[in-house]
Amino acid sequence: MNTEDIFERLRNGEIISPKDPDAYQMMEASFATKGLLVQMNVATEPEEIRGFLSQIIGSEIDGTVNVFTPLYINYGKHTKIGKNVFINFDCVFLDLGGITIEDYVFIAPKVSLLSEGHPTSREDRHSLIPKAIHIKKNAWIGAGATILPGVTIGENAVIAAGAVVSKNVAPNTVVGGVPAKFIKNI
């Protein structure tokens, strides 16, 4: 019998079946997060927004972080945000698999960071596959980009607007397209 709670299991990359006896806890946690998101997304003062976001992720957000709401997060406790990070309007973070955003990262409007997915087989499709996303220092994620589960964005990398990133991105490079491909070195 696994003694870890379901959130530890997710953070460790365990696939969770919808038949798992603890699966209901993911939905309960998401609704608790939603309550805080509603308040955060109508707040207008940067300090107030950081306060709500700190509650959502379960750790203090540095005063150098700026978030333009709305921001949508399904859980929150598996998100880590560094210093001097800017998150623009209308972003979506699905973080059950884990999201790490290092210092000096820019995230443009309508970016989706999706650290969880589902199997393609019809029989298993309702299972959840968590894989962490890691965005390294000084990366810039362009408007409307989607970062898929398990991807690491290298230091100083630039993700072009609208890109769908399904593979790791090397440091000091620009990628773009669907799926994202190498464009040039910086």
Residues carrying an active site annotation = 118
Measured CA to CA, the distance from residue 13 to residue 113 in angstroms comes to: 16
Assess contact for 167 and 180: CB atoms under 8 A: yes
Question: Strand, coil or helix: what is 50?
Answer: helix
Measured CA to CA, the distance from residue 145 to residue 159 in angstroms comes to: 7
Distances, alpha carbon 66 to alpha carbons 2, 62, 71, 90, 157, in Å? 39, 9, 12, 13, 20
Q: Which of 165, 118, 115, 157 is nearest to 136 (CA)?
A: 157
